[in-house]
Amino acid sequence: MSNEQYKEEEVSPEVNDDLYERFSITIDKGQEPLRIDKFLTSRIEHATRNKVQQALNAGMVMVNGKEVRPNYKIKPADEIIVYSDMSPEETDVVPEKMTLNIAYEDDQIMMINKPPGMVVHPGSGNYTGTLLNGVAWYMKEKNPDFTEDTVPRFGLVHRIDKNTSGLLVLAKTDKAMRFLAKQFFDHTIRREYVALVWGDMKNDEGTIIAHVGRHLRSRKLFEAYPDGEHGKEAITHYKVLERFGYLTLVQCILETGRTHQIRVHMKYIGHPLFNDDFYGGDKIVKGTVYAKYKQFVENCFAICPRQALHAKTLGFIHPETGKEVFFDTELPEDIAQVIDKWRKYSTTVGSAKS
């Protein structure tokens, strides 16, 4: 079989926060019938037959929007979505006892309010102490038979950055996992963030459209590509909530979910997130040169020693009831304190100017 007989695109979890959207494959004309387990094993690098069959049996492989079994034979024009990781190097999740801020839980889903500074899942350099380690412990305490074979990656279907706080949804059943993963893939999840950004934004609301992808020189960073020459389509809607002169509090609604999307998009329009050390927000971007102002900003950096970004609201169709549900959280203490300080500072400066 030649490479010209199919189109394949690998979607790394590092470039899309929909953790299980790993591969998207469209079969071209000329493809002869072939069992899908054999096809995926031969075409996905590092994939093993066992991994592929586990993914198929768990319903993590969709063909034309429907689950298929390992003996399904692919045909021209089939659209295949693989949600599960096929890599044999995938890090095992070791259960660890820890305190989880569970905002909501039922038989199908669990909502967790993640604190800043916590990595979501194990990976290179972070094998313990992650949110998923704690979830694994919690799930197994409630049901000793619960394993990654029961629900892959203990139900994780998306993630947020280590230093971003806020809501995550996890699935507790295969059905819920497939249902939620598809909503993330279709971009029908309602995700609202609150961010504190540098500068006085010109418009009260707007939409940022620019592909987001790896920085061409630094693998740790992402970049906005407005002409779409690199990366993947990314769309962020924003609305100003409050103005503080040198800073603006904004609501960001994600239409897509790319890694660092809000951080990259805000930098792209000239408003990096407050204290974002990756994208230039950890220095004075706007304001005066006076020593008192510099000290004020440094005090705020100390209160909120991370990018001022919080995943505040998450809405989706519930996998069991079929009804739309919304979950909301209060701003964490560090961001709330900084907002209060800037609110008072802007009022004082405004009074001095008048």
Angle at 128 between CA 122 and CA 133, to 5 degrees: 70
Residue 257 CA, chain-centre distance (Å), reads 6
Catalytic residue among 37, 161, 276, 334: 161
Distances (CA, A) of 219 to 14, 214, 229, 254: 10, 6, 17, 23
Q: What is the largest CA-CA distance in the chain?
A: 77
The Cα-based distances of 200 to 182, 243, 346 in angstroms read: 37, 7, 12
Task: Report helix angle 333-353 to 291-303, nearest 10.
Answer: 160
Q: Which helix (H) or strand (E) holds 163?
A: none
In the residue annotation, 106 being an active-site residue is answered as no
Tokens of 56: 């198929």
In DSSP terms, 317 is beta-bridged to 324
29 contact partners, CB below 8 Å, separation of at least 6: 76, 77
Pairing of strands 309-317, 165-171: parallel
Distances (CA, A) of 325 to 257, 265, 284, 286: 19, 28, 40, 39
How do the residues of the chain divide into helix, strand and coil, expressed in percent and rounded to 5? 25, 30, 45
For residues 276 and 294, give the distance between their C-alpha atoms in angstroms, rounded to a whole number: 17
Dist CA 148 CA 145 (whole Å):
10
Structure tokens at 126: 């972070």
Residues with active-site annotation: 161
